[in-house]
Amino acid sequence: MEKQCKRTFPRLIAAVILTLGFAGCQEKETASTETIRPDLKGNVALLSAIGLMSGNPILPVATADPDIIYANGKYYIYPTATGPNTSQFHAWSSADLLNWTDEGIVLDLANVSWAHADGWAPCVVARNGNYYFYFTAEKKIGVAVSASPTGPFVDKGSALATGDGTDPIDPMVFVDDDGQAYMYWGNTTFNIQRLNSDMISLTGTRGHNKPSNFFEAAYVIKRNGVYYLMYSINHFGNDDYHVEYATSSNPMGPWTYKGRITSPRGAIKGPGHNAVIRKPGCGDEYFFVYHRRTSTNIHERQVAIDRMFFDAAGNIVPVSITNSGVVESAGGTPCYTPNPIANGQYVIRSKMNTTAGAGLYVDIAGCATGNADVRTWTRTNCNGQKWNLTYQGNGFYKIISELPNHKALDLDACGIDRGANIQVWDVFANDCQQWRIEPAGGGWYRIMSKSSNNVMDIADGSNTPGADIRSWNWNGTDAQLWKFEAP
């Protein structure tokens, strides 16, 4: 919703360490030179897709306030405008969530008659055979139309709305199951109003039902008959800028406050202003797109993507803010069942075998009953190779050792970076000890940490018994594939 950095370079797509620079941001655009941000030097997770995961951030420019849609076999992200006077809106496309292409300027405020600057926080909706591009410009709400998700979008010729309150910004449009569309917008003051079927004019009484703590960046989805209103709290420059949510049985409220979705994590500050998209063709898989920053320059924000889950009661599970992002998800990729393995006791076998052909299993060295590392080992009868799986009703499992002290499989310190150690530890109710199990074909599975979205991995792909088991970004190798067998 504020001024943004200017793009100074094209994206370089690679799975190696890249040297990228972001120009410094000012309240007004100025000429800039390429610089290398210290927080990006040598950090593969921040620079590009890693293995078969998106990495975070996913766009190579400093921008914010993303919306996301899926159309014509591609995902499209629309962030806040860049360029002179924050006037040029771009679209970014991806077929797989890993590699993103700048589709160029889709709307330039130079071509808008009623406002030429401060282009913030767009929202795009497909309807009537067209794409409708809602945007903020000079603190008014506009709408432009195109037959293509990549534009060019043509403004309707006047502002769609100003809204009530001093900061009528951040439009979001939701189309209900009955075809009625609603627009939500505003900072501090919350505006809700119906759209006509033409999608470029408003109708009916404007509502102001506001959930607790609302500040800006409304985003609405509907799931199982419940309306979920997500919104951001605090000024965007606050380290604790974050997303909370409320629910209702009516798209115009009133709203019941539910809780917090995002929180800062380590060097990652201000995870907020989100959009959500359901994976195409899947009933209950969601991607959560948002911006965050690692720079002390509050205008130098980054667009990122992570998974969003619901618990058995329909509550949104707090989103894990990660560096690895999400796995490759091209159109037509399989939908994942939330609990593919029945509760019970198993030994966990790697797809890798020793050179002699013996199987390798997840093992606690020497059947240690205390807190200890896990490794690979050939099959034994020790309880250090027996694991009790219990589905938690939120997309994740607890995995508990059968040894007498019943320690939990644990990601050391909830480590966000690949290479973090995997161990057994005292049982806690935190993300370090929750694991998602997803089929990867042929009866094999990947085991992903809720904390980092990285997977269980045999260090260096070693097939020698005793190799360390760690976390790593998903790359589909045999060292990351596991099978659940009867003990």
Per the CB < 8 A criterion, the answer to whether 170 and 120 are in contact is yes
Rg of the chain over Cα atoms, rounded to whole angstroms, equals 24
d(CA 190, CA 201): 18
Could you read off the pLDDT of 58-117 as tens digits, one per residue? Answer: 999 999 999 999 999 999 999 999 999 999 999 999 999 999 999 999 999 999 999 999
Q: What is the C-alpha to C-alpha distance for residues 99 and 93, in angstroms, rounded to an integer?
A: 8
- 362's enclosing H/E stretch is strand 359-364
CA–CA distance, 293 with 242 (Å, rounded to integer): 12
> What are 255-282's pLDDT values in tens digits?
999 999 999 999 999 999 999 999 999 9
CA distance 393 to 152: 44
Cα torsion for 44, 98, 473, 79, to the nearest 10°? 70
Going along the chain from its start, the domains and CATH numbers come out as 38-317 (2.115.10.20), 344-485 (2.80.10.50)
Distance CA 83, CA 20 (A): 18
- Phi and psi at 376, nearest 5°, equal -95, 150
C-beta of residue 161 within 8 angstroms of C-beta of residue 143: no
CB-CB contact of 439 with 459 (8 Å) = no
> How confident is the model over 390-414, as pLDDT tens digits?
999 999 999 999 999 999 999 999 9
Residue in 381, 376, 335, 332 with CA at minimum distance from that of residue 358: 376
Average pLDDT in the chain: 91
| CA 171 vs CA 41, 77, 339, 422: distances in Å | 35, 15, 36, 43
pLDDT (0 to 100) of residue 15? 34
Global pTM value? 0.90
Burial 232-241 (b: 16+ CB within 10 A, else e): bbeebeeeeb
Least confident segment among 26-35, 238-247, 347-356: 26-35
User: Is residue 139 predicted with pLDDT exceeding 90?
Assistant: yes
Q: What count of Cα atoms within 13 Å lies in the side-chain half-sphere of residue 165?
A: 23
